[in-house]
Amino acid sequence: MITRFKFSPNDRIVVLTGAGISAESGLKTFRDSDGLWENHRVEEVATPEAYLRNPELVWRFYKQRYLQLSEVEPNPGHKALKQIEDFAGGNFTLITQNVDGLHRRCGNKRVLEIHGSLELSFCSKCLAKFPMNEIDLEQSLPRCDNCGGLLRPDIIWFGEIPYHLDIISDILCQADFFLVVGTSGVVYPAAQFLHICKSYNAITIGINLEEPKNSYLLDEFHQGKAGELLPELVRIWTRGK
């Protein structure tokens, strides 16, 4: 048997995903190979300080990542997580560190994008939000239509507070199952979500290419690619509703 667990319709199921779930769609993870972009460490272009120092460089980085989205599609791993939401309905929450929007594109409804979205930007002065597809990306520094302030990608950078933390602590404490998929578990606060769920007695399951450092907190760990493992696991977990 590949898994010893099975979901019941009333189980509250919380999933945390990271870059690994989108790797099979063709998006690079952050901490693989050299972890560099145009010779910059990702951390160097993903901070408020980097934006103040060199906003053109930061815009180039995010524009490139935004444009890449039109070339990728959700993969079988995303599709399997959509099936869990179809099974659990309102008892399901997907928390993602990813900014690629692939969970939403795949049809998941209860998605909390805690690190923001590549598809949005906001004015650093008046805070108005603008969809990226309404911005002229030929400009090296796009500005706000309302007040002329500099726009910035709607991304949570290192040192900033993630979105949705207010509701996430309640969701974590009430989880019956907590699944962690495709994340190295080194970036906080998301890296701590597993500890919280475990201490509130959730059943914890991990799916990851490499064994994460905190795998001792997992009741079950499946090593391999999410797109290869999740479809069969989800079929078993949701069997016989």
Backbone angles phi, psi at 240, to 5 degrees: 70, 45
Q: Which residue has the tokens 């030929």?
A: 138
What separation, in Å, do the N-terminal and C-terminal C-alpha atoms of the chain show? 19
Backbone angles phi, psi at 35, to 5 degrees: 60, 25
Q: Residue 205, interface with ligand APR (CB under 6 A)?
A: no
In the bound state, the residue with its beta carbon closest to ligand APR is 20
Using CB under 6 A as the binding rule, the residues of this chain from 109 to 128 that contact ligand APR are: 115
Using CB under 6 A as the binding rule, the residues of this chain from 165 to 194 that contact ligand APR are: 182-184, 186-187
Instruction: Tell me whether residue 40 is one of the annotated catalytic residues.
Output: no
DSSP one-letter string for 84-146:
HHHHHGGGEEEEE---S-HHHHTT-SSEEETTEEEEEEEETTT--EEEGGGS-TTSSS-B-TT
Using CB under 6 A as the binding rule, the residues of this chain from 37 to 76 that contact ligand APR are: 42
Q: Residue 20, interface with ligand APR (CB under 6 A)?
A: yes
Q: Residue 144, interface with ligand APR (CB under 6 A)?
A: no
Q: What is the DSSP letter of 128?
A: -
Backbone angles phi, psi at 68, to 5 degrees: -65, -25
Q: Residue 108, interface with ligand APR (CB under 6 A)?
A: no
Determine the Cα–Cα distance for residues 76 and 82; give it in Å rounded to an integer. 10
Q: Residue 204, interface with ligand APR (CB under 6 A)?
A: no
Q: Which residue has the tokens 């980085």?
A: 61
Q: What is the DSSP letter of 2?
A: -
CB-nearer residue toward ligand APR: 132 or 226: 226
* Nearest distance, CB of residue 211 and ligand APR, angstroms: 9
* Nearest distance, CB of residue 143 and ligand APR, angstroms: 25
Catalytically annotated residue among 40, 78, 103, 115:
115
Q: Residue 153, interface with ligand APR (CB under 6 A)?
A: no
* Nearest distance, CB of residue 138 and ligand APR, angstroms: 27
Instruction: With beta carbons less than 8 A apart as the criterion, state whether 63 and 213 touch.
Output: no
Residues that bind ligand APR (CB under 6 A): 18-20, 23-24, 29-31, 42, 97, 115, 182-184, 186-187, 208-210, 225-226
Active site members? 115
